[in-house]
Amino acid sequence: MSTFVQRAACRGHRPAEAAALRHQSRPQVVAQLLREREVARCLVAPTGFGKSTLAYEYAEVMFDFNHVFWIGATSPCFLRDLDAGTLFGSLVEADERCALVVFEDVPLLEGERLAQFSEVIDKLLERGCEVLVTTTPSRDCLGPWQRDRLLIDGADLMLDDEEAARNGRGEPTGRRPPFAAEERIACVQWGDDGWSTLLAGCAAEELPADMLLVQWLVLAQARGTWHEVAALLGEPRALEAWGYLAPRYPFLGMSEADGTFSAVRAEPAVLATRFDRIMDGVVASETSNNAVIGGALIPLLTLGIPGDGVTAMLLGAFMIHGLTPGPLLFVESADLIYTIFIACILANVVMLVLELGGMRIFVRLLSIPKYILLPVVLVLCTVGAFATNNRIFDAQSIVIFGVLGYLMSKFKLPVAPFILSFILCDLLETNLRRGLMLTQNDFLAFFTHPIAAVFMVAAVLFVVWTVIKQVRNRKKETAGAA
């Protein structure tokens, strides 16, 4: 017989690890468990929703902890006995009249382990022993194996009006509904450090990094739409994350019907502390984003080839002022090169000072509604364009190109090629006319001369490959959505 199973036998005594978790009595949910005693009952909800305390109350009310086993599934001994195939035999040997087995905080099981655990549950149910399983949504793996199970999820464990109106001692507070979403979460309403418990559990979930990032975004912003998540992850991944998180994490308030979210208002300090590893990932991505500019300047200054859209605009500025980026720029305009180097160094220092000093002010911009912020930005841009030369044409230009930029963004057309073509069009037309004069207006010369033919073929192959790649990606996205 396993020593681990022997120690899990309650024998009329309340398990200390479960007793410390109890908040309040929840008779309605206990009654729901009582009605489905012949199937496995799975309490699948985020940390802090009272899964273990509900199992504790059920074991106390129905059995007074007699013939009850409280299996801590986070223990390595649980997996050891499961792999050895001795778990069921040890339970029966320890107590032939076993009436209830609670598997607390079952980890994510796969393959043979999952099949063995499901077999243990089936054997216990066949002997008339009740089974309760508690786990979190990211670790719930019993669905395909226990089709007849009773699933009680986070939405079922949200407090009702009567429960939300009680304080930590179970006494009525005199408040009346409607209650905020956070007042319907057991640990926030009844626990000593509810926010920390809830957010620590969320951050510890065994979820992909992008889904944890969506959780952090929704909790940090509290109100928003699906489009903000799509802007962060892209539409396919955002749809996957939204579809998974919405039904399983009710405190996020993610609606699949209208694509909006209205999450609980978490305390920012606790949110930042508990999601520190997510914050590290955000900082790392932003740091690399800032470092890209310096790297993109290298091919621009040395070869005259812009590395991204920003340096493409800088290339245009150079050409307007009669400067040709390339190796000769370091010889003919060394003072300009060193000025750029110094400006990059100073920009990082100034940005550091401004960000550290103005972070609390800049964050407040997120609380300004878009229907107020965007018109103000548009007016300032228009006034600035007009004030430069006192010409209405400049103001009209930014409106036209603003609409063009919006359409390009809407239809996912890249901006960098447009900027490059706009900058290089004069050079292209000049050299095209020069080439046609040398070939007596014969376009075929561009395809018959070896060097020109190589570049033409390379350009055509690049365009064809880009189209094929986009078609393949769209087929994959369509197949994934189906």
* Residue 102, pLDDT score: 93
Give the pLDDT confidence of 207-217 residue by residue, as tens digits.
887 788 888 88
CB 237 within 8 A of CB 207: no
* Residue 207, pLDDT score: 81
Residue percentage of the chain with pLDDT more than 90 = 17
Give the pLDDT confidence of 329-374 residue by residue, as tens digits.
888 888 888 888 898 889 888 988 888 888 777 767 766 777 888 8
How high is the mean pLDDT of the chain? 83
Q: Tokens for 91?
A: 């339970």
Q: Tokens for 308?
A: 């991204």
CB 444 within 8 A of CB 433: no
CB 215 within 8 A of CB 253: no
Q: Tokens for 15?
A: 């398990």
Neighbours of 304 (CB within 10 A): 16
* Residue 441, pLDDT score: 84
DSSP annotation of 439 reads T
Distance, in Å, from the CA atom of 4 to the CA atom of 8, rounded to the nearest integer, reads 6
Give the pLDDT confidence of 84-93 residue by residue, as tens digits.
999 999 999 9
Q: Tokens for 171?
A: 């006494």
* Separation in Å, CA 304 to CA 37, 307, 320, 459: 75, 9, 14, 19
Distance, in Å, from the CA atom of 189 to the CA atom of 475, rounded to the nearest integer, reads 48
Give the pLDDT confidence of 216-274 residue by residue, as tens digits.
888 888 888 888 788 777 778 888 888 889 888 888 888 888 888 888 877 777 777 76
- Residues 404-425 have a mean pLDDT of 79
Q: Is the pLDDT of residue 66 over 90?
A: yes
- Give the dihedral sign, CA 169/173/179/182: negative
Question: Which class for 237: exposed (0-12), middle (13-18), buried (19 or more C-beta within 10 A)?
Answer: middle
pLDDT band at 198 (very low <50, low <70, confident <90, very high): confident
Strand arrangement of the beta sheet that strand 150-153 belongs to: 68-72, 100-104, 130-135, 41-44, 150-153
Distance, in Å, from the CA atom of 121 to the CA atom of 101, rounded to the nearest integer, reads 9
Distance, in Å, from the CA atom of 63 to the CA atom of 11, rounded to the nearest integer, reads 10
Q: Which residues face 102 on adjacent strands? A: 70, 132
262's enclosing H/E stretch is strand 260-262
* Residue 68, pLDDT score: 94
CB 2 within 8 A of CB 90: yes
* Separation in Å, CA 389 to CA 380, 386, 392, 394, 395: 15, 6, 9, 8, 10
* Residue 44, pLDDT score: 92
Tokens 């007699």 correspond to 66
* Residue 280, pLDDT score: 62
Alpha helices in 104-193 (DSSP H): 111-126, 154-157, 161-164, 186-190
Residues near 297 by beta carbon (within 8 Å), at least 6 away in sequence = 307, 311, 314, 340, 344
- Tell me whether strands 41-44 and 130-135 are parallel, antiparallel or unpaired: parallel
3-state secondary structure of 159: coil
CB 169 within 8 A of CB 143: no
- Tell me whether strands 68-72 and 100-104 are parallel, antiparallel or unpaired: parallel
CB 135 within 8 A of CB 49: no
Neighbours of 87 (CB within 10 A): 27
